[in-house]
């Protein structure tokens, strides 16, 4: 059950086995199911006593399920933040390594400079590799392990290409130059796709945020002229709330579609 959970827990650096975390989810579901059922029973007994046998367990099950799903996706949330931090700083970190290598610094020292620098999660990842190398592990093996346990596909691809180049005996500066060029092209492609998607999103924003509310308000005003149709103040308040929620959802869509390599 949940075969992806083991990998996600490892990449998120959460010190739980898949079985332990699954047991925690099950336990929290039972606790919140009981708590939700108890709270719902108090309100249902006063508002709808005839539904005491069905409504409280149903609401408790819904409450417990929401908590369980949130816990199940919590590692994904951590990984998403980690990936964004890595990919936001990856190009700058690789350029730093490239500049250091071209100036005559060894690859290990260049990696150490990035590890000690302010490159977000990239510095954290390289610091792990530096610690392994300092304890006696081969440089290629330490870098390979770092790439295997990383959730960012761009970071893994970069490290694997670097390790393969080192094993083949290629020039490190040429390898780094190729990696920087490839990521820069990928970044440009992401920016171009993002610009194209913003055109569609801006059109949707005009429709949902301006045109449809204006037409809807005009339609309601016309309907209010007829005496058979009663339109209360709560309709307009509800319309305002709907528009406000739509604005926040639209901002969330724009933020989530932002390219990871582009940064904040």
Query: Crossing angle for the helix pair 212-224 and 233-256, nearest 10 degrees?
Result: 170
Which DSSP category does 209 fall into? Answer: I
> What does the alpha-carbon distance between residue 190 and residue 185 come to, in Å, rounded to a whole number?
9
- The two three-digit tokens of residue 154, written as one number: 């761009």
> What does the alpha-carbon distance between residue 76 and residue 180 come to, in Å, rounded to a whole number?
28
Domain boundary among 36, 68, 84: 84
As for how many domains the chain has, the answer is: 3
Residues 170 and 228 in one domain: no
For residue 233, give its domain range: 197-256
Query: Crossing angle for the helix pair 107-116 and 55-102, nearest 10 degrees?
Result: 130
Task: Give me the tens of pLDDT residue by residue for the chain, a chain 264 residues long.
Answer: 566 788 888 887 788 888 888 899 999 999 999 998 898 888 888 777 777 778 888 888 998 899 999 998 888 888 888 888 888 888 888 999 899 988 888 888 999 999 998 888 889 889 988 999 998 888 888 888 888 888 888 898 889 988 888 888 888 888 888 888 888 888 888 788 877 877 777 787 777 777 777 887 788 777 777 777 777 777 778 777 887 887 777 777 777 767 666 655
Residues 180 and 201 in one domain: no
> What does the alpha-carbon distance between residue 50 and residue 90 come to, in Å, rounded to a whole number?
61
Cβ neighbourhood burial of 56 (10 Å; 0-12, 13-18, 19+): buried
> What does the alpha-carbon distance between residue 44 and residue 61 come to, in Å, rounded to a whole number?
15
Domain boundary among 63, 84, 105: 84
């Amino acid at each position: 059950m949940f075969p992806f959970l083991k990998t996600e827990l490892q990449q998120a650096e959460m010190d739980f086995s898949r079985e332990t975390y699954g047991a925690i989810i099950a336990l929290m579901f039972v606790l919140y199911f009981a708590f939700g059922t108890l709270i719902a029973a108090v309100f249902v007994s006063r508002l709808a006593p005839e539904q005491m046998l069905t409504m409280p367990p149903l609401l408790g099950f819904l409450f417990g399920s929401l908590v369980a799903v949130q816990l199940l996706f919590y590692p994904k949330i951590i990984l998403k933040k980690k990936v964004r931090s890595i990919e936001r700083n990856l190009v700058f970190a690789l350029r730093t390594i490239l500049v250091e290598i071209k100036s005559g610094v060894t690859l290990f020292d260049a990696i150490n400079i990035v590890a000690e620098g302010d490159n977000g999660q990239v510095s954290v990842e390289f610091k792990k590799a530096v610690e392994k190398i300092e304890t006696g592990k081969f440089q290629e093996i330490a870098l390979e392990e770092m790439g295997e346990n990383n959730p960012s596909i761009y970071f893994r691809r970069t490290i694997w290409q670097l390790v393969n180049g080192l094993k083949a005996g290629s020039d490190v500066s040429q390898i780094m130059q190729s990696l920087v060029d490839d990521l820069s092209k990928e970044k440009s492609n992401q920016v171009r796709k993002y610009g194209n998607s913003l055109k569609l999103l801006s059109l949707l924003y005009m429709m949902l945020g301006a045109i449809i509310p204006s037409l809807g308000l005009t339609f309601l005003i016309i309907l209010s002229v007829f005496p058979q149709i009663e339109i209360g103040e709560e309709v307009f308040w509800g319309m305002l709330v709907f528009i406000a929620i739509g604005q926040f959802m639209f901002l969330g869509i724009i933020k989530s579609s932002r390219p990871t390599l582009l940064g904040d």
